[in-house]
Amino acid sequence: MATSEARRRSPQGSWTSRLAFILALSGAAVGLGNVWKFPYIAGENGGGAFVLVYLVCVFGVGLPIMMSEILIGRRGRRNPVATMGLLGEEESGNKNWYLVGLLGVGGSFIILSYYSVVAGWAVAYIFQGGSGAFSGASPEQIGDIFGGLTGNWVTSAFWHTLFMGMTVFVVVRGVVKGLERAVRTLMPVLLGLLLLLLGYSIVEGNFVEGLLFMFAPRFGDLTPTGVLTALGHAFFTLSVGMGAVMAYGAYVPDDVSIGTTSVIVVCMDTGIALITGLVIFPIVFANGLDPAEGPGLIFVTLPLAFGNIPGGTIVGTIFFLLLTFAAWTSAISLIEPVVAWINEHRGVSRRAAAIGVGAAIWALGLLSVLSFNVLADLNLGWGTYFDSADFLTSNITLPAGGFAIAVFAGWIMSRRSTAGELRLANPTAYRLWRFASRFVAPLAVILIFLNAIGVLAWLGLTG
Ligand code: PHE
């Protein structure tokens, strides 16, 4: 419960119901991470055993951090920077916790600058698929389509611009008329399309082989690096550690249960990732293609399959429409914390903030566009701008934010504050949450870090 009357509502407004919040948070969570990244990293890491570890990470580490992030957001009722400063002062007399909020806002800004470019490719593929470009195409031809899109900066920039425009269009309209209305339409459609594709895969794909690939654990295929990939992806896919969940948490009505909604959202995100795998792999197997294709799985391997299956043109178009919707609702959640911050901190109107922030992210995104052509040889430390931005956010700012949030909720905030905000009916559930927040989550992040800076490899623990 917020501590003072002035803190009962965020200046941005609030979700009109629990369902709206569930849809918004699921929309934030379900994105390129589920449809593009999860299937290919599962494919690269042997399938079943990876899926098992991923489930442990999502529920053991991701879920408690998501609860912490929502509870902090709702208690502060401001943008993530102001909220962290406010609660830091309140709980420990130290305002400097605002830096954690700033890390999140900065991270969201950078993630969107490359996320939007990949999302733009998805939009382009709706049209490619719809025009029958995949139909009967050879692997070389599909490679040329993808290469033509990423290699030509003007084309790629066009789709990136369109996607950023779509994102700003929604965010300008505010929490209820923009965000909530968008997720209320897009999320049910997304679910419907996914089930349609699942039905198709069951009937037309090699479903049994796909099922076995995803769920029969072959532990021999799982490396320690694979375990860490699963852990890192648990953060990314749930959108935690970035302030996005905190921003959405600020709009949650007081009577909504944080525990129950978090469990629903995590199940939804995980379910959608698993179903996506069950859509993709049976199609990949039925066409004798390689599940361990890597990042090109969706943009190269899958279109090849779409080109050779009955009804492939329509199935392919639906698939990329789904990918676009998933990315769109996530992009909205990435820009929202930045817009809320500029609006509340600088007193700029929400509309101007959304347009200004959108333009700035768009401009930075051009570096991502150029990373595949003109600036492909530019090395910013971890490869191109695109690769460096992905590495920096996925492996550094996201886990660091998650660590700080877990530590703040588990160690800095009083038991009274967290128990009062979570109001879990079951005392064991509270104890479990607190244990995970204090010990499991921070330790898990330390492992990701050690891996990222190569310490584990140096100790001979990872390959
Ligand atoms: N969870 C989103 C996805 O799976 C990505 C994301 C990360 C969105 C962090 C917001 C914040 O695609």
- Residue 265 tokens read as 């959202």
Q: What is the pLDDT averaged over residues 302-323?
A: 91
Answer yes or no: is the C-beta of 190 below 6 A from any ligand 1 atom: no
| Cβ pair 79, 345 in contact under 8 A | yes
Q: What is the pLDDT averaged over residues 203-225?
A: 88
Helices (H), 216-257: 224-238, 244-249
pLDDT in tens, 180-205: 999 999 999 999 999 999 999 999 89
What average pLDDT is seen over the chain?
92
Q: How far apart are CA 339 and CA 347, in angstroms?
A: 11
Residue 224 banded pLDDT, cuts 50, 70, 90? confident
| Residue 121: predicted pLDDT | 96
| Residue 463: predicted pLDDT | 54
Q: How far apart are CA 32 and CA 9, in angstroms?
A: 31
Answer yes or no: is the C-beta of 46 below 6 A from any ligand 1 atom: no
Q: Name the one residue in this structure whose structure tokens are 């039905």.
A: 199
Answer yes or no: is the C-beta of 29 below 6 A from any ligand 1 atom: yes
Closest CA relative to residue 341, chosen from 127, 205, 171, 457: 171
| Residue 4: predicted pLDDT | 55
Q: What is the pLDDT averaged over residues 367-394?
A: 91
Q: Which of 38, 117, 237 to mutate to test the pocket of ligand 1 (most atoms within 8 A of CB)?
A: 237
Query: What are the C-alpha distances in Å from 180 to residues 18, 143, 171, 185?
Result: 11, 38, 10, 9
Distance from Cα 33 to the centre of ligand 1, integer Å: 6
Q: How far apart are CA 89 and CA 24, in angstroms?
A: 29
| Cβ pair 97, 84 in contact under 8 A | yes
* Dihedrals phi, psi of 345, to nearest 5 degrees: -85, -40
Q: How far apart are CA 19 and CA 338, in angstroms?
A: 24
Closest CA relative to residue 51, chosen from 297, 280, 221, 284: 221
| Cβ pair 112, 151 in contact under 8 A | no
- Residue 386 tokens read as 């695109």
Report which of residues 168 and 395 the model is more confident about.
Answer: 168
Instruction: Please check the confidence at residue 2 and state whether its pLDDT lies above 80.
Output: no
- Residue 147 tokens read as 């290469």
| Residue 295: predicted pLDDT | 75
Distance from Cα 398 to the centre of ligand 1, integer Å: 10
How deeply is 158 buried, as exposed, middle or buried, from its count of CB atoms within 10 A (0-12, 13-18, 19+)?
middle
Instruction: Please check the confidence at residue 23 and state whether its pLDDT lies above 60.
Output: yes
Report the 10 Å Cβ neighbour count for 43: 23
Tell me the residue type at 227: V
Closest CA relative to residue 421, chosen from 37, 17, 118, 73: 73
- Residue 27 tokens read as 């929309």
- Residue 82 tokens read as 């102001």
Q: What is the pLDDT averaged over residues 406-428?
A: 96
pLDDT in tens, 32-70: 999 988 998 898 888 899 999 999 999 999 999 999 999
Q: How far apart are CA 253 and CA 296, in angstroms?
A: 41
Q: How far apart are CA 103 and CA 111, in angstroms?
A: 12
Closest CA relative to residue 205, chosen from 295, 102, 110, 308: 308
| Residue 288: predicted pLDDT | 87
- Kindly report which listed range (133-137, 412-416, 417-421) carries the lowest average pLDDT score: 133-137
Q: Which of 34, 54, 236, 405 to mutate to test the pocket of ligand 1 (most atoms within 8 A of CB)?
A: 236
Q: What is the pLDDT averaged over residues 135-158?
A: 92
Give the CA diameter of the chain.
66
pLDDT in tens, 85-114: 999 999 999 999 999 999 999 999 999 999
Tell whether the torsion through CA atoms of 325, 327, 328 and 333 is positive or negative.
Answer: positive
Answer yes or no: is the C-beta of 388 below 6 A from any ligand 1 atom: no
Q: Which of 54, 330, 334 to mutate to test the pocket of ligand 1 (most atoms within 8 A of CB)?
A: 330
Under DSSP, the state recorded for 96 is: G
Ligand 1 atom closest to Cα of residue 38: 4
* Dihedrals phi, psi of 2, to nearest 5 degrees: -65, 150
Please indicate, yes or no, whether the overall pTM of this predicted structure exceeds 0.75: yes
What is the distance between the terminal CA atoms of the chain, rounded to a whole angstrom?
47
Q: For 268-321, where are the E strands, in sequence order?
A: none
Q: How far apart are CA 86 and CA 417, in angstroms?
A: 14
- HSE at residue 59, side-chain half, CA atoms within 13 A, is 11
Helices (H), 30-179: 32, 38-44, 48-57, 63-76, 80-92, 98-130, 139-151, 153-172
Q: How far apart are CA 44 and CA 294, in angstroms?
A: 6
What percentage of the chain exceeds 70 in pLDDT? Answer: 98
Answer yes or no: is the C-beta of 242 below 6 A from any ligand 1 atom: yes
